[in-house]
Amino acid sequence: MSTPAGDHRATAARFTELVRGTTDWEAPAPCAGWTARDVVRHLVEWLPGFLRSGAGVELPVVPSVDADPVAAWEAHAGAVQAVLNDPASAAVMFRNPHTGNLPLPAAIATFYTSDVFLHTWDLARATGQDERLDPQRCAAMLEGMLPMDALLRSSGQYGPRVEVPEDADPQTKLLAFIGRDPLP
């Protein structure tokens, strides 16, 4: 059985490979108006405020994404992993009026690690690297997201669904569901 710490470790490791393999930080990303650097910026910048407001957890300040996206990502991913590796984090409750109350590790796994997983494809597509995602995880995420379609769309975090063939693989279906055009 996967744990939030183990899941983050594996997901962040894959994203780190892509970050280290990026040679053009200004390459356009599949998210409208974003570059490869913006994908990293998004993941590095949104979580600290989310954890501070929901659980009183302060992540350390990391290097600037503009100055050094690799160092920024690696420091951030290491800080998140340290929180998840700390046995005391299981006793910390994350509280948010929109998402409800969850143990801190579950909140990180649900909202953040899954975001890293999805943005792995964005960074890979932007930078011409291996775009393959774990098909079982894609299928499971899509299954969990389908019943929340209207809620997810109303959040503004997902674009309109992209039409793909009914017999498309799980990765293609998941990416299309979240508003990405997964076809070459």
Q: Which amino acid belongs to residue 154?
A: S
Strand boundaries in 15-144, DSSP class E: 93-96, 100-103
What does residue 152 show for φ and ψ, rounded to 5 degrees?
-65, -45
Q: Which amino acid belongs to residue 78?
A: G
Nearest alpha carbon to residue 43 among 75, 5, 67: 75
Query: Per the confidence metrics, is the pTM higher than 0.85?
Result: yes
For 29-38, what is the mean pLDDT? Answer: 95
List alpha helices for 86-165, DSSP H: 104-107, 114-127, 135-145, 149-154
Cα–Cα distance, 1 to 170 (Å, whole number): 21
Q: Give the model's pLDDT for residue 151.
A: 80
Cα–Cα distance, 146 to 20 (Å, whole number): 33
- For residue 1, name the pLDDT band (cuts at 50, 70, 90): low
- For residue 183, name the pLDDT band (cuts at 50, 70, 90): confident
User: What are 128-175's pLDDT values in tens digits?
Assistant: 999 999 999 999 999 999 888 888 877 777 888 899 999 999 999 999
